[in-house]
C-alpha cells in the first residue's frame, strides 16, 4: 500500500491537490458516487500509476461552476500510465504494461459496447448511458488527475503500448490518446472529412487543434480554424491551418476570403455550450452560436461533427432554457440543407489504436500541435487558472516527475 494524491474540485474557480485513498478493487462512497455503485466489486480492474494526466476543457466547465459537480470530486479523465496491480479476473493486461486509458468507461459486454458505442455503455453508470472518470453525473468513478487510479474492465478498456522505451520517448503524444486526439478525429470523421475536403473547425482550444490535426491526417485540402483568441489562432497557423478571428464578425465572410466561397464541405464544433457570440456579440455567451453558424457555413449535403460538450444542467446559463440544455437551434436551416449531425461522447476505442500507430510511426505530431506542456501535479491550480484565461496550451500533469 502506498499513498495517493489527487486534484479535487472545491468550489467554482478553485481546485486543490489533496490526500486521497489509494485505489482498491471496490468502488467506495465519495463525492459524486451514485449510491448504486457504492460497494461495487471490480476484480476485473487494474491499478494504474498515472504517468501523464491532462487538464481538459470539460474539467474546466466543472471548475467554472457550470455543472452540478459536487465539492470534493476528484477530477481527471485523460490518463496514461503504468499498470502496477491487477485484479484476479484480469487475464491479458500485465503489471508493468504502459497503457492509455480511454476516458469512456465501458464494460465491453452490453449491446452498445458490442456495437462500438463505448461512449454510451449501459452498465457502468446507474444514472444514464455513458461514463467517465472524475466527471459529474458519470457514476462517480474516481478521477485520474492523481498519482494512482483504478481502471475497471482492464482487459477491455486499456490500450497497451507495444514498447515501454518507445512509449516514454513519445509520451506527450501518446497522452493525447485518452481523449482529445480521438475526440477531434471523431469530430472530423463524423463531419465527413476526407481527401480534398474543405473543413472549418470552430474553436482553437486543445480539442479544436486536435480536430485540425485530424483533418490534415484525413487528407483535407484546406483546414480553417476559428476562435476569439489570437494566441490560439497562432497555434493553429503554426502547423499549416488557415484561421478566422470570429471576434471580427461571422466566420463565413472570412471563409469566403480564403476559399472564394462562403461554405465548406465539413463543419466541426469544438466549442460546446459555453460558446460566445461573433463580432460585436463576442463578449457575451450565446450557446447556440457555433451550431447555427456551422449550419450556415456548411454546404448543402454536408455534415456536422459535434464533439464540443453540451450539458443537460448548466446552473450558470443566462436563461432558464439554456440551464436545461435547451438552445435556440436553427434546425430548419439544417433540415433544408440536408445536414447530418453527430453528437455525444467520442467512442475512443474506435480510433485510439490506429492513432497510436500513427504516432509511433511518426505520421503525426499531436503534442506539438496542441502545445502540450507538462507541469507537476502540485501546480495543477496554476494550470487550471492559465487554461481558463485562454492559454494556447494543453497542460499535462506529471504526478511522478517522469515527463521532464
pLDDT at site 228: 95
CATH number reported for the structural domain that contains residue 387 in this entry = 3.90.180.10
pLDDT at site 308: 93
Which residue range forms the structural domain that includes residue 36?
Answer: 5-179+350-398
CATH number reported for the structural domain that contains residue 281 in this entry = 3.40.50.720
Evaluate whether 32 touches 62 at the Cβ level (below 8 Å): no
Residue 404 lies in a domain: no
Of 319, 343, 367, the one marking the end of a domain is: 343
DSSP state of 73: P
Cα-to-chain-centroid distance, residue 257: 31
pLDDT at site 287: 83
Instruction: Say whether both 164 and 199 belong to one domain.
Output: no
Residue 212's φ and ψ, nearest 5 degrees, are -65, -40
Instruction: Say whether both 125 and 186 belong to one domain.
Output: no
Instruction: Say whether both 125 and 202 belong to one domain.
Output: no
Summarised one tens digit per residue, pLDDT across range 238-277 is 999 999 999 999 999 999 999 999 999 999 999 988 888 8
Residue 403 lies in a domain: no
Instruction: Say whether both 128 and 268 belong to one domain.
Output: no
Count structural domains, the chain. Answer: 2
Distance CA 146, CA 22 (A): 10
Instruction: Say whether both 188 and 148 belong to one domain.
Output: no
* Secondary structure element (H or E) that encloses residue 52, with its range: strand 46-54
Instruction: Say whether both 120 and 223 belong to one domain.
Output: no
Give the other-Cβ count within 10 Å of 312's Cβ.
12
Instruction: Say whether both 124 and 197 belong to one domain.
Output: no
> What is the residue-level pLDDT of the chain in tens, covering all 404 positions?
579 999 999 999 999 999 999 999 999 999 999 999 999 999 999 999 999 999 999 999 999 999 989 999 999 999 999 999 999 999 999 999 999 999 999 999 999 999 999 999 999 999 999 999 999 999 999 999 999 999 999 999 999 999 999 999 999 999 999 999 999 999 999 999 999 999 999 999 999 999 999 999 999 999 999 999 999 999 999 999 999 999 999 999 999 999 999 999 999 999 988 888 888 888 888 888 999 999 999 999 999 999 998 888 778 777 788 888 888 899 999 999 999 999 999 999 999 999 999 999 999 999 999 999 999 999 999 999 999 999 999 999 999 999 97
Instruction: Say whether both 185 and 266 belong to one domain.
Output: yes
Place of cell 476526407: 194
Residue 325 lies in a domain: yes
The share of the chain scoring above pLDDT 90, in percent, equals: 89
Distance CA 265, CA 296 (A): 12
pLDDT at site 1: 53
Instruction: Say whether both 219 and 283 belong to one domain.
Output: yes
Q: pTM (2 decimals)?
A: 0.96
Instruction: Say whether both 17 and 38 belong to one domain.
Output: yes
Instruction: Say whether both 317 and 229 belong to one domain.
Output: yes
Instruction: Say whether both 42 and 169 belong to one domain.
Output: yes
Evaluate whether 269 touches 187 at the Cβ level (below 8 Å): yes
Amino acid at each position: 500500500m502506498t499513498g495517493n494524491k489527487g486534484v479535487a474540485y472545491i468550489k467554482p474557480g478553485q481546485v486543490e491537490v489533496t490526500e486521497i485513498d489509494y485505489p482498491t478493487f471496490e468502488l467506495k462512497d465519495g463525492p459524486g458516487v451514485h449510491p448504486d455503485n457504492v460497494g461495487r466489486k471490480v476484480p476485473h480492474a487494474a491499478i494504474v500509476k498515472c504517468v501523464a494526466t491532462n487538464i481538459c476543457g470539460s474539467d474546466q466547465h466543472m471548475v467554472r461552476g457550470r455543472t452540478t459537480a459536487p465539492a470534493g470530486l476528484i477530477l481527471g479523465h485523460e490518463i496514461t500510465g503504468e499498470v502496477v496491480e491487477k485484479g484476479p479476473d484480469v487475464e491479458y493486461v500485465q503489471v508493468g504494461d504502459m497503457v492509455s486509458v480511454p476516458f469512456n468507461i465501458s464494460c465491453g459486454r452490453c449491446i452498445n459496447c458490442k456495437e462500438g458505442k463505448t461512449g454510451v455503455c449501459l452498465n457502468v453508470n446507474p444514472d444514464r448511458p455513458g461514463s467517465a472518470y472524475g466527471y459529474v453525473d458519470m457514476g462517480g468513478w474516481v478521477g485520474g488527475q492523481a498519482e494512482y487510479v483504478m481502471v475497471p474492465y482492464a482487459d477491455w478498456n486499456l490500450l497497451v503500448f507495444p514498447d515501454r522505451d518507445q512509449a516514454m520517448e513519445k509520451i506527450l503524444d501518446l497522452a493525447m490518446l485518452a481523449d482529445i486526439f480521438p475526440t477531434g478525429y471523431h469530430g472530423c470523421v463524423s463531419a465527413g472529412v476526407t481527401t480534398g475536403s474543405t473543413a472549418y473547425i470552430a474553436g482553437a482550444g486543445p480539442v479544436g487543434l486536435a480536430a485540425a490535426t485530424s483533418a490534415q491526417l484525413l487528407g483535407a485540402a484546406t483546414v480553417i480554424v476559428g476562435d476569439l483568441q489570437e494566441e490560439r489562432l497562432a497555434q493553429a497557423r503554426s502547423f499549416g491551418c488557415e484561421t478566422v478571428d470570429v471576434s471580427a464578425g461571422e466566420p463565413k465572410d472570412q471563409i469566403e476570403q480564403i476559399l472564394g466561397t462562403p461554405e465548406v464541405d465539413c463543419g466541426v464544433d469544438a466549442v460546446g455550450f459555453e460558446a460566445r457570440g461573433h463580432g460585436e456579440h463576442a463578449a457575451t455567451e450565446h450557446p447556440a452560436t457555433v451550431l447555427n453558424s456551422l449550419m450556415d457555413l456548411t454546404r448543402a449535403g454536408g455534415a456536422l461533427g459535434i464533439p464540443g460538450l453540451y450539458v443537460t444542467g448548466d446552473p450558470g446559463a443566462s436563461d432558464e432554457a439554456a440551464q436545461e440544455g435547451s438552445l435556440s437551434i436553427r434546425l430548419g436551416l439544417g433540415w433544408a440543407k440536408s445536414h447530418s449531425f453527430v453528437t455525444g461522447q467520442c467512442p475512443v476505442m474506435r480510433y485510439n489504436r490506429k492513432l497510436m500507430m500513427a504516432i509511433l510511426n511518426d505520421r503525426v505530431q499531436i503534442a506539438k500541435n496542441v502545445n502540450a506542456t507538462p507541469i507537476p501535479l502540485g501546480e495543477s491550480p496554476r494550470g487550471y487558472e492559465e487554461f481558463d484565461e485562454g492559454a494556447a496550451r494543453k497542460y499535462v500533469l506529471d504526478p511522478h516527475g517522469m515527463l521532464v
